[in-house]
Structure 1
Amino acid sequence: MGLKAFFIVFLLFAASFSNAQDIELDSIKELNYIQKFPNKITGRLFYINTSNSFEFKGRLTDQRVSLTPNKQNRIGASIAFKAIKLSYSFAPDFMAENQDNEDSKLFNIGLRTYLGKWMQTLNLYNEKGFYLEAYGQELYLPRTSSLKIGGSTGYIFNENFSFRSITNQDEKQLKSAGSFLPQLIYYYTKYGIKGDGDSGQQVDEKYHSVDVALSPGYYYNWVPTKNLMISAGAAAGLGVNFSNGTDSESLTSLLYDLNFRGAINYDFSDFYAGAQYSYLILNHNTDRTTYTEDNIPYFEAFIGYRFKAPKKILDISDDVNKKIDSIKN
């Protein structure tokens, strides 16, 4: 089975699994904690500012070197139904931060799906064009690039707590609730530093890094009024990092991560608006003399509307779900 076919099958399965979970809707409504929208399509317009930056510190000296990408602000639109979501964004030239984007790029994909109490995320960052800051000087390196791919697998212990209401808005938190949420975090990172050295020689250094950490956390959705939700949470964990570079030997070191998240949503009938912010920090050794801070800030502001799915789409979803049920039986 090809990758494309596998991906389509996975999306159909996820959508059908989500449809099966809607059977529990009546019991959840009795608890009066979460409102679901199983037969509605969620559309939204959004603004996103995110990047992946690095800071290197000498373990034996006070030397600091930072690599900060040429950041881009993006606007876009998305449409989602059950576990399937389509999204498109671009960096318009009229935004001030985008007016020096020549010879630089930022490509980001973020996917999130839910299987019962399990939550799965996948993120990809592909960046080109970095500012190098050291000794009070700043230099733009247009050929320096980085690639990060990975995600997390988490388990939401409290069924009355809705993480979807924070990130997807296809659920609404009706009463305040929190949950312990442990996650397994894993990322692969590659970055290449390219530029001209002091004496004119070419600098071309490549580094590879693998992070794996167990990160327990707690998140809380506070509902002070009927249509307003304020969410906050944090996670911290330990793990292991594997690193190697162009001229250095492979190194295995202790990794620790910190993850902060906050959000505010206003939800009235099918209209909603809000913002969310998160900050992931991965700290580890790069080599025997250098310590690395790997930072991923993420900010999103959005406005959206839920509208009833056409009967044809609902029928297709029901047919797929029936076929999966017949295979199980």
Structure 2
Amino acid sequence: MKYFLLVSMMVFGRVLYAQDNSKTLKHKQDSNYIASYTSELDLTTRFFNSIKFSRYVLRDSRYKERLRYASNENLIIGVGVSYKRLTFNLGLNFPFVNSRDVEDKGKTKYLDAQIHYYLDNYVFDAWLSTYKGYFLTNPHETTNQDMADHSFPIRPDMINTNFSFNLVRVLNSEKFSFRAAFAQDEWQKKSAGSFLVGAECNMMFSKGDSSFVPSNVRESDFFDGYKIRKNTILNLGVSGGYGHTFVLAKHFYLSIVATAAFGGSYTSLKSHDDSQEDVHGLTFNVNYSTKVGLGYNSETFQIGLATVQTFMTNHTSLAHSKITENPGNVRINLIKRFVLKKPIRLPILNKLLD
């Protein structure tokens, strides 16, 4: 969204919280593997560039081609600060940076907010995203558009909203750090990995003024001939995966996390054609997500690239038909850490984080 002010989760931004009350739970990290910078005398500052995106894909298992819709990706430039377990990020969408291809791919307006809670052995993630304005990325593969026409069909009316929640248990949190690559307030000093188990819930709502399947689609029975213009999807699943950080010379790192979830799904479809009845029912879903981080990390400085993608594929009650939603982001972080002479005295904040 042009002139869009992105405040990650409003006041809290990206919240990274872990209980550190010594009378109840102690963080059992191995200091030979992980250095943490979340004490009351640590302050982490960041400058970042971020690109967030949303993709919506209609698939028919009888055909290789897929209808792939995408948001017009915008570059966000921002700053942030972390203290104890709290991170606040503020990003701006600069129009002079993101105005070049609006005529070709249309304008995307969006809200994208995230919460991440990091306990000793658990990671809790929550997302709320709404994107309005998509374009068809592959018209020559899926429609009868003239090969000499290199334009992208634009759908400014298309809206996609996603609520997602997942909880993951990190089985080797003593040696493997999620935060080092993806929250930037820890330092993974030695290579280590961990198996992951968890559960997740996703709710997805998409709608448009007309059918997502173009009238000039190449295969007339694509998506079983259903003129879908609205879908509601709810899925629940259990997940498992593995994460590993490879460390070279103590400072250079490559972190890879991959999880897959399997579960049940409720899908409801509404057609643009009044002669086609609403379709709904219980099916199954397969979701998977990837996180990749790489860069240089040290006691006082870090520079790194981090990418996060989620692929949520839901079978529908129509024969051969699937809907995949793919939100994600790519981010470059420049981090500088400071040691304070005395703790920051903010009574409400300190009570929340202690």
TM-score, with normalisation over the residues of structure 2? 0.77
Query: After the TM superposition, which residues 254-273 of structure 1 pair with which residues of structure 2 at under 5 Å, given as runs?
Result: 254-273=284-303
Q: Higher helix fraction: Structure 1 or Structure 2?
A: 1
Work out whether residues 153 and 184 of structure 1, in 8 Å CA contact, stay in contact via their aligned partners in 2. yes
Q: What is the CA distance between 1:287 and its match in structure 2?
A: 3.5
CA distance in 1, matches of 2:301, 2:331: 17
Match of 1:84 in 2: 86
Counterpart in 2 of 1:208?
Answer: 232
Query: 1:139 — aligned with what?
Result: 153
Instruction: State which of 196, 204, 222 in structure 2 corresponds to 1:181.
Output: 196
Alignment CA distance shift 1:204-1:21 (3 Å): farther
Counterparts of 1:226-237 in structure 2 under 5 Å? 226-237=250-261
2:149 match: none
Deviation at residue 96 of structure 1 after TM alignment: 5.0
Q: Distance in 1 between matches of 2:110 and 2:205?
A: 15
Distance change in 2, residues 1:90/1:18 (3 Å) = farther
Give, as a single letter, the amino acid of the residue that structure 1 aligns with 2:35. Answer: Q
Match of 2:224 in 1: none
Structure 2 residue ranges without an equivalent (≥5): 1-9, 146-151, 217-226, 272-277
User: How far apart, CA to CA, are the structure 2 residues paired with 1:264 and 1:135?
Assistant: 39
Q: Which residue number in structure 2 is paired with residue 105 of structure 1?
A: 109
- Aligned residue type for 1:291: K
Tell me if the contact between 2:191 and 2:244 (Cα under 8 Å) persists in the aligned partners: yes
1:242 paired to 2:266: yes
Change (3 A) 1:210 1:20: farther
Aligned residue for 2:148? none
Query: How big is each residue's C-alpha offset from its partner over 1:193-244, in whole Å with a ceiling of 9 and x where there is no partner?
Result: 2249869xxx993211112221201111111112212111322231122110
Q: Deviations over 1:94-118 (max 9, x none)?
A: 3256651875312211221112211
- Residues 287 and 310, structure 2, Cα contact 8 Å, conserved in 1: yes
- Aligned pair partner of 1:115 in 115, 119, 125: 119
CA deviations 1:119-153 (Å, max 9, x no partner) are 11111211111113441544101121111111211
Superposition pairs for residues 22-33 of structure 1, below 5 Å? 24=26, 28=29, 31-33=31-33
Q: Which amino acid aligns with 2:167?
A: T
Amino acid at match of 1:186: C
1:305-320 equivalences in 2 (<5 Å) = 305-309=336-340, 311-313=342-344, 316=347, 320=351
Equivalence for 2:60? 58
Q: 1:14 to 1:140 in 2, by over 3 A?
A: closer
1:54–1:66 Cα contact (<8 Å) kept: yes
User: Equivalent of 1:127, from 121, 124, 131?
Assistant: 131
Q: Please give the secondary structure, in 2, of the residue aligned with 1:311.
A: coil
Q: How far does the alpha carbon of each residue in 1:14-39 deviate from its partner, in whole angstroms, 9 at most, with x for none?
A: 858246599857x745x511111123
- RMSD of the alignment, in Å? 3.3
Alpha-carbon contact 1:72-1:106 (below 8 Å) kept = no
Return the letter of the residue paired with 2:143.
Y
Please name the residue that 2:171 is paired with: 157
The total of aligned residue pairs comes to: 310
In the superposition, relative to structure 1, how do residues 198 and 258 fare at CA in structure 2: closer, same or farther (>3 Å)?
closer
Q: Hey, which of these two has a bigger chunk of strand by percent? A: 1
**Residue segments in structure 1 that go unaligned for 5+ positions in a row:** 1-6, 325-329
Rounded Cα–Cα distance in structure 1 between residues aligned with 2:334 and 2:24 = 25
Distance change (3 Å), C-alpha of 1:18 and 1:87: farther
Question: Residues 63 and 305 from structure 1, CA distance in 2 versus in 1: closer, same or farther, beyond 3 angstroms?
Answer: closer
Q: Does structure 1 retain, via aligned residues, the 8 Å contact 2:74–2:98?
A: no
2:16–2:116 Cα contact (<8 Å) kept = no
TM-score by length of 1: 0.82
Structure 2 counterpart of 1:170, one-letter code: D
Equivalent residue for 1:327? Answer: none
Which letter does structure 2 place at the counterpart of 1:296?
A: P
Counterpart CA distance in 2 for 1:265 and 1:216 is 26
Whole-angstrom CA distance in 2 between matches of 1:229 and 1:255 = 33
- What's the secondary structure of 1:52's corresponding residue? strand
1:296 to partner: Cα distance: 2.2
1:169 to 161, 179, 184: 184
- Partner Cα distance (1:171, 1:62) in 2: 44
For 1:181, the aligned partner's letter is L
